[in-house]
Amino acid sequence: MLPLFILWVILLSGASAGHSRDCSRVNMAAQVQTRALVSVQWLADAVRNKLVGPKLRILDTSWYLPSTKRDTRDEFAQKHIPGASFLDIDECSDSTSPYDHMLPTPSNFSQYVGDLGIGNDTHVVVYDTSDFGAYSAPRVWWMFRAFGHGLVSVLDGGMKNWVAEGHPVTSEYSKPERQEFRATLNASWVKSFEDVMENIRTKEVQVVDTRISGRFNGTEPEPREDILPGHFPGAINIPFTSLRDDSGKLLGPEVLTKIFKDAGVDLQRPLWVTCGSGVTACHVVLAAHQLGYPGVCVYDGSWVEWFQRASPEHIISEGKVKKE
């Protein structure tokens, strides 16, 4: 019990050490980092040692395509990792946007996660219940980071591996006590329709699209009926599922490096990511981060916005084409 606790303290204090004393508290809070992945064993030890509380919060962030008809809130109510709360990506979003679950404002994000008992010195561990081992959790990991909170980790392998390794789940829930969270958005991490359009002209930045190949090349339908499949000029396809092993854990650095290389992506150069609605794109942000490239940006509107706004010349598809 003791070694784990000490390790955890070292992890937190070690991460925040090394900043000059004249840093303002705001900047210090924004710069505290932790590792991007924690193992099922690490979290199981933390839960068993009762470390879950104001300094460590677990979030079930499960969100799936509406076509799966999964009621993730109800699934959470029945079964979650002990001590976890539920973060709803659709609710924690910009309610004024016509596009799907766009980033909320910093103050709305602060309000939402503060209500889940998260303050700006809370280590947040995110997971979801996908059979892939992760689906939406990397998106929420990225959201915290975009809002200046580096103290966030993805549970490697998610609920799938938590259960497979024999750890307990529960239906018990007690709402954590509210904490004060102060988000500061680094707007340069988020790319717009205009940014992507400009980049199609300049070709300065590589853009990876993480949808499955059929949706990318136009031969399989998009989940939304009003949207046809396809991709924009210059996009490179790396399906998010290709970044995980059979058990659902993120692949190791050698294999990940090879995947980027084989796809023709140079991680030394700027990289943006896109997908259907900005969720699975974050798997590439996480993978690149693990390889030492933390600066991958997300096109938040992704294909849902692109298809609705772009003219047919900017939509490449082997299938049915968009009408003018």
- 112: which 2 tokens? 């939402």
Q: Name the segment binding ligand NAG (CB under 6 A); options: 2-10, 56-64, 80-88, 104-112.
A: 104-112
Q: Indicate whether 105 belongs to the interface with ligand NAG (CB under 6 A).
A: yes
Q: Indicate whether 13 belongs to the interface with ligand NAG (CB under 6 A).
A: no
Q: Indicate whether 55 belongs to the interface with ligand NAG (CB under 6 A).
A: no
Q: SS3 for 117?
A: coil
Smallest gap from Cβ 307 to ligand NAG, in A, equals 17
Tally Cβ neighbours within 10 Å of residue 111: 15
Q: Which of residues 138-197 bind ligand NAG (CB under 6 A)?
A: 182, 186, 188
Q: Which residue has the tokens 């007690």?
A: 174
Smallest gap from Cβ 145 to ligand NAG, in A, equals 10
Q: Name the segment binding ligand NAG (CB under 6 A); options: 15-23, 24-32, 52-60, 245-253.
A: 24-32
241, amino acid identity: T
Q: Indicate whether 29 belongs to the interface with ligand NAG (CB under 6 A).
A: yes
Q: Which of residues 211-230 bind ligand NAG (CB under 6 A)?
A: 213-214, 217, 219
291 within 8 A of 257, measured Cβ to Cβ: yes
How many residues interact with ligand NAG (rule CB under 6 A)?
A: 20
Q: Indicate whether 321 belongs to the interface with ligand NAG (CB under 6 A).
A: no
CA atoms of 79 and 169, how far apart (whole Å): 6
CA atoms of 75 and 71, how far apart (whole Å): 6
146 within 8 A of 79, measured Cβ to Cβ: no
Q: Indicate whether 295 belongs to the interface with ligand NAG (CB under 6 A).
A: yes
- 233: which 2 tokens? 């000029």
Mark whether 297 is an active-site residue: no
Residue 56: its H or E element: strand 56-60
107 vs 170, beta carbon nearer ligand NAG: 107
Tally Cβ neighbours within 10 Å of residue 312: 12
Pairing of strands 123-127, 152-155: parallel
Which residues bind to ligand NAG, rule: CB under 6 A?
A: 25-26, 29, 94-96, 104-105, 108, 119-121, 182, 186, 188, 213-214, 217, 219, 295
Residues assigned a catalytic role: 275
